[in-house]
Structure 1
């Protein structure tokens, strides 16, 4: 009985791809059916486009959130890819024959709800085979027995028998086997349909995993009624560049191999008809990498490596060295017995950093087209690499260039990268230390991964372009904002993305939230962020004037509520002094704010005795810095706050607040340290211990030089050598002093 040719393969197998092409040359089929979603056959035209460069991957994804996706990757040595190429070269019809992508996505969703708890059998069989053969792992077992098979006959039968035996050991154990049966019944239907169309069975070649050969031989085809009963979800598909790293088992790809770049070397060697060439290419690439990075590797070591690898292969009755033999030889001859010496070279040679390419307009969503178009316009294509690269941006206008785009190239790059950040596309990571200050300089780290492409495709649910998708994402976040700080962050992000309409929209949300009650520290933080945007608005070519009324509103509300908020405990005082510092910075930078109002608030807080003394001291420090408190007033306030009738913790707390600013100015005022010394002399032992808690905290942030300067002042006041005081302050504490300080742990700091 005439039967179609069922050619079993292993995905990503150069040996299978080479044997398949030879089989196709022999059969000269009228139709090639390839394992893959049957509704994605149109992608074959793009897959074998002259400018398309593997590795590539077909991706199907759901059209509704949360996005689910499935990937079908190809390398240059994938049997499926070579079957598609052969079909194009010989004008032979070719199509995929597996379940439609929407069915796969539906089944994937069900597996997530009902996970397979027994999926270990196949791996167990692989491990046992490697153990029995004495090989390190299944990849080595497969390479020795199948990748090096160059004989003209026997391969097809051997691989099919391997799949049949594996199936006998595992089929019927895992829940996923039910899906396998469904797939095989559907593929059998596709085969039968091709035969019924008038194509002779023997002129049909079916390329499928070796595991499926027996199923396709014995399975009954799926009926029309069963096809209609298949679950499915609405989905779209695209073709995307992939990388060798993602094809490797190291990245978690179950159908991958551990060394995709090495297997490409093996494929090229097969194409040249010289399998041994892979041995020389592997070891010379290791040596070349070592030399490029300053590690001396001689030609003699390479020659010895080749000899050793061949000897190791002979010990295993292999005709040519496999990857394990080559690595062992490289470790011995070039790594001096240590894998760590050649680890980077091995990773480069075995896995590599190859990323596929697709010409513009080939099987992409509109947002992908927009991404790649901007990547080209912004001259960022060189950063589409599997290796992380830094990018420093200067957002200022470049003078002496001929076009506006060139003058603001880095600014446009910044906007584009910030939009990717909003969409959570992991192509670029911003250096947070610079960005938080929003200066003219930004530092980014760019690294391309296939996950970034997937994230771009998923963003298609938000918009047709990067800009529209980022705008939609920001508007969604704005509508979900529940606090001033959240809304302010969105205004800032929209500003950095260069989206004035989105800034206005988020600003409206923020204004609505600002009407409600909010903590002073939250309003101060929001005012500070908006203030930064106003100051650097011209740098980003955006009009910051719409932000000014809101900054005024937040500033006035903060001024009204700050005094009462300062009636607080020590824990809250820290956040309030930070808020006061932010508000003071905002007031200093903008003339449209009422400075007199701010000074009046600070004077009120500084003078009052019913507020937290740390807040009062910090208010005095700001006034001193602004020149609103003179030497006489400061001395009088010191005398009032540090007097015998004031509890020690209150006086020391006030000094702690004062010492948070203007340290050089304070250190220069000898009268201040004389008053502090006289005050401490009036305290009894209990009061001194209590004051010491605050004084230690006040001086904790002083630099060694500042502490030394304070010691010199005290030495002059006490009439002793400043060096003696400095030595006493700076030297290691004695055990008695340590015991004294340890006793301070008994204090309840939350009540102070």
Structure 2
């Protein structure tokens, strides 16, 4: 570094250390840092960040390292206590690291060690998003894997140690330095001001230090007015940075460059004694920490994701950093390519017109170049025809982006992480930041392995995949997953490392521990189901032992009814997954027997809410018994007939709430154990004038509520007539009491079913062949041959028949029948 004695306009001697105050994740700052380092040629580069990561700096030059990435620090004894320092390609710190590695210059981190910041968190309230943060520079909840240290938090977006946020004045209101500076310049938007003065400002030759000098002067004025803002953590961090800076100067002389948040620059420039700085650091708590590189994503860089140092538009900023010339034209071309891929009609003329409109808007608004707001307005008007729907796609895919970083295999990692990476490569299941659906056929070995891995990770709390509803087959051999890899999952993997060194062993240990601490019987049965899905045979003996003990001691029928469906579902997995479920069958059959005995007395004298909950248990047990009968062990045969006896008992007891009695009748009718006439007789008894209207309405809800109830009334007009006659006879004073219950029952039907019921009631149930019914489609007294004949030509084409067929031909009759059915 060339040392000159003259004092430049910034008011400092160039023999002093080169302090480059930046905005984290700012492409303009990143370009300016690169230009300043090229011009100054320092002998050492000091960067705001945890010193424990010094040994990881050389990995930034690895060809497999691709930002966005983040430094992850976590407490060894408590992996969930963690902090991130994210870096994108356009982060000034990343540019400084790469410059130092390319020029073989030492690079070091000088912020407060993570060992202190993580320990500091332990003694503070860790409330996500609270204004007073727990640790130095930790805006988010570190226990949730979203904590951030040094270069990754307030220093970043409007952050207190960077130009974007600042101290807190005496009245306790946090100030926004960018907002203050923007307001002073006459801007009402700090983001737009930053773009105009930094992001759109070119760095001329010999002028590389000018932006840093101006920004330092501005921050010095703000620090003089507002001080440290009452943040003791900033004072401690800055004291540590000054000590590290002095040490580097003793080793390298004045030829040292420091890249840090601009908010810190005045404090690092300020003269302070070693004794005073060490006094601030005395007695700081400390924990043992591990640190590594982890992949990061653009979405986690976005402020909308909840990360405290985020930016609104990481994809846009990445484009500004990468596009050295014609950024607007190149951006519009990207947008056009995306919209064309989504089958939007976008031509080169649209691109030209959008660029012209963006430039015109920038000129009207007094901006040096079009910014994100101008390009967005132009895209909406020209390429999206005023619609925000395609514009939302542009924002999601390009303005934010779904870029997922990559770290080299040489980066330190816990053994569990290594085993997970091997499994991902073996199963060809690549982590991606964009959400996607994965269809699995468990009859295929690779898909079965993917299913096992995802279920085991869910047991460990690593929610990489979430089960989704299959759009195709509903068989047990098919699964659908919704996958999305988030950076926090790296913390979850590190945290799960305490359970084992492989995914299988860790999931087994975690399942056994969860079974011991499970609060209820249903939790244990659910855990047994998850163990079968994850194929953890070593965990099943422990889980089954605890399940049997809990089932034997639990006398609450509702708990037993809640636990049975999960056990019965688990029995079905043996066919596809090859899992031995014999032990489960015995426990499930025993639970069913106890439910049969205890359910009738448990259904007596229930209030409305308890009755509704018991009705849901009744449905669940009914479905479980139907599946269990085939898998029941010897000694538990004929479960279905005994269950039907329980339903008959429930349907005839006056002490049982009407909603349960009605549901029991409905289940018997669906199983063919009750004739239509008998069901109508029971409904007639319940809807007789002697029954209170509220009880009758509850019975109706149980009988025709839920799936299929509306179709039952559509196809059995005798039942519909009973309901209609009862409803018209309800006294006026009681009608307002039963109306909410009836509306809840009938509003659950599909729109088509409700419309058909309305048409039937309008013409009168039971009058299917009456003249008034002729206008109701599908309810005529006889088949309408003329209407069927009208569609015969189309049906013949669908059946592949050419020409007319004789009237008596069987295929013509089939065609007519198909037309009528259609």
Using the size of structure 2 for normalisation, the TM-score is 0.72
Aligned counterpart for 2:47 among listed residues 34, 41, 53: 34
- SS of residue matched to 1:220: coil
Distance 1:668 1:295 in 2: 46
Partner of 2:203: 150
Q: Is the 8 A contact 1:438 1:532 kept in 2?
A: no
How far does residue 579 in structure 1 lie from its aligned partner after superposition?
4.4
Q: Is the 8 A contact 2:249 2:255 kept in 1?
A: no
Aligned counterpart for 2:561 among listed residues 521, 524, 549: 524
In the alignment, structure 1 residue 236 sits paired with structure 2 residue 286: no
In the alignment, structure 1 residue 386 sits paired with structure 2 residue 433: yes
Q: Is the 8 A contact 2:440 2:478 kept in 1?
A: yes
Aligned counterpart for 1:46 among listed residues 52, 55, 59: 59
In the alignment, structure 1 residue 70 sits paired with structure 2 residue 117: no
Equivalent residues in 2 for 1:39-438, closer than 5 Å:
39-65=52-78, 67-109=80-122, 112=125, 116=132, 119=168, 123-135=175-187, 137-147=189-199, 148-170=201-223, 172-173=226-227, 175=229, 177-197=231-251, 199=252, 201-220=253-272, 222-223=274-275, 227-270=281-324, 276-310=325-359, 320-331=369-380, 333-335=382-384, 342-381=391-430, 384-395=431-442, 397=443, 407-431=444-468
Distance 1:73 1:699 in 2: 53
In the alignment, structure 1 residue 482 sits paired with structure 2 residue 519: yes
Number of residue pairs aligned between Structure 1 and Structure 2: 702
Q: Is the 8 A contact 1:602 1:620 kept in 2?
A: no
- SS of residue matched to 1:180: helix
Q: Is the 8 A contact 2:79 2:491 kept in 1?
A: no
Distance 1:179 1:500 in 2: 50
Q: Is the 8 A contact 1:101 1:235 kept in 2?
A: yes
Q: Is the 8 A contact 2:462 2:492 kept in 1?
A: yes
Specify whether residues 624 and 427 from structure 1 end up closer, same or farther in structure 2 by C-alpha distance, changes over 3 A only.
closer
How far does residue 554 in structure 1 lie from its aligned partner after superposition?
0.8
Q: Is the 8 A contact 1:163 1:212 kept in 2?
A: no
Partner of 1:735: none
Q: Is the 8 A contact 1:14 1:78 kept in 2?
A: yes
How far does residue 560 in structure 1 lie from its aligned partner after superposition?
2.3
In the alignment, structure 1 residue 555 sits paired with structure 2 residue 592: yes
Partner of 1:21: 34
How far does residue 329 in structure 1 lie from its aligned partner after superposition?
4.5
How far does residue 574 in structure 1 lie from its aligned partner after superposition?
5.0
Greater helix share, structure number: 1
- SS of residue matched to 1:68: strand
Specify whether residues 611 and 631 from structure 1 end up closer, same or farther in structure 2 by C-alpha distance, changes over 3 A only.
same
Which runs of 5 or more residues in structure 1 are unaligned? 271-275, 398-406, 732-752
- SS of residue matched to 1:233: coil
Partner of 2:534: 497
Specify whether residues 219 and 109 from structure 1 end up closer, same or farther in structure 2 by C-alpha distance, changes over 3 A only.
farther
Specify whether residues 527 and 433 from structure 1 end up closer, same or farther in structure 2 by C-alpha distance, changes over 3 A only.
farther
Equivalent residues in 2 for 1:645-664, closer than 5 Å:
none
Partner of 1:444: 481
Q: Is the 8 A contact 2:596 2:643 kept in 1?
A: yes
How far does residue 312 in structure 1 lie from its aligned partner after superposition?
5.5
Distance 2:472 2:543 in 1: 20
How far does residue 67 in structure 1 lie from its aligned partner after superposition?
2.4
Specify whether residues 602 and 169 from structure 1 end up closer, same or farther in structure 2 by C-alpha distance, changes over 3 A only.
same
Q: Is the 8 A contact 2:21 2:263 kept in 1?
A: yes
Q: Is the 8 A contact 1:7 1:20 kept in 2?
A: yes
How far does residue 240 in structure 1 lie from its aligned partner after superposition?
0.9
Partner of 1:745: none
- SS of residue matched to 1:362: coil
Distance 2:721 2:263 in 1: 90
How far does residue 378 in structure 1 lie from its aligned partner after superposition?
1.9
How far does residue 226 in structure 1 lie from its aligned partner after superposition?
5.3
Distance 1:640 1:330 in 2: 66
Q: Is the 8 A contact 2:456 2:503 kept in 1?
A: yes
Equivalent residues in 2 for 1:568-647, closer than 5 Å:
568-569=605-606, 571=608, 575-576=613-614, 578-589=616-627, 590=629, 591-592=632-633, 594-595=636-637, 599=641, 602-603=644-645, 606=648, 612=656
Equivalent residues in 2 for 1:666-677, closer than 5 Å:
none
How far does residue 627 in structure 1 lie from its aligned partner after superposition?
7.1
How far does residue 100 in structure 1 lie from its aligned partner after superposition?
0.6
Q: Which digits, 9 at most, give the CA deviation of each residue in 1:528-558, with x for residues without a partner?
A: 2211211222212211111122112212212
Distance 1:27 1:385 in 2: 40
Distance 1:523 1:36 in 2: 55
Distance 2:30 2:721 in 1: 89
- SS of residue matched to 1:445: strand
Distance 1:226 1:256 in 2: 30
- SS of residue matched to 2:451: helix
Q: Is the 8 A contact 2:476 2:572 kept in 1?
A: no
Q: Is the 8 A contact 1:36 1:72 kept in 2?
A: yes
Specify whether residues 473 and 438 from structure 1 end up closer, same or farther in structure 2 by C-alpha distance, changes over 3 A only.
farther
Q: Is the 8 A contact 1:48 1:85 kept in 2?
A: yes
How far does residue 610 in structure 1 lie from its aligned partner after superposition?
6.6
Q: Is the 8 A contact 1:189 1:221 kept in 2?
A: no
- Mean Cα deviation higher: 286-295 or 131-140: 131-140
- SS of residue matched to 2:45: strand
Q: Which digits, 9 at most, give the CA deviation of each residue in 1:160-185, with x for residues without a partner?
A: 34234224324655555432222222
How far does residue 657 in structure 1 lie from its aligned partner after superposition?
7.2
Q: Which digits, 9 at most, give the CA deviation of each residue in 1:382-417, with x for residues without a partner?
A: xx333321212222x2xxxxxxxxx32222222222
CA-based RMSD: 4.8
Q: Is the 8 A contact 1:434 1:441 kept in 2?
A: no
Distance 1:388 1:665 in 2: 40
How far does residue 308 in structure 1 lie from its aligned partner after superposition?
4.8
Q: Is the 8 A contact 1:438 1:536 kept in 2?
A: no
Q: Is the 8 A contact 1:642 1:651 kept in 2?
A: yes
Aligned counterpart for 2:496 among listed residues 448, 459, 484: 459
Distance 1:175 1:203 in 2: 31
- SS of residue matched to 1:67: strand
Q: Is the 8 A contact 1:240 1:364 kept in 2?
A: no
Q: Which digits, 9 at most, give the CA deviation of each residue in 1:225-259, with x for residues without a partner?
A: 65452222332222111122322344355544433
How far does residue 706 in structure 1 lie from its aligned partner after superposition?
8.9
- SS of residue matched to 2:539: helix
Specify whether residues 254 and 546 from structure 1 end up closer, same or farther in structure 2 by C-alpha distance, changes over 3 A only.
closer
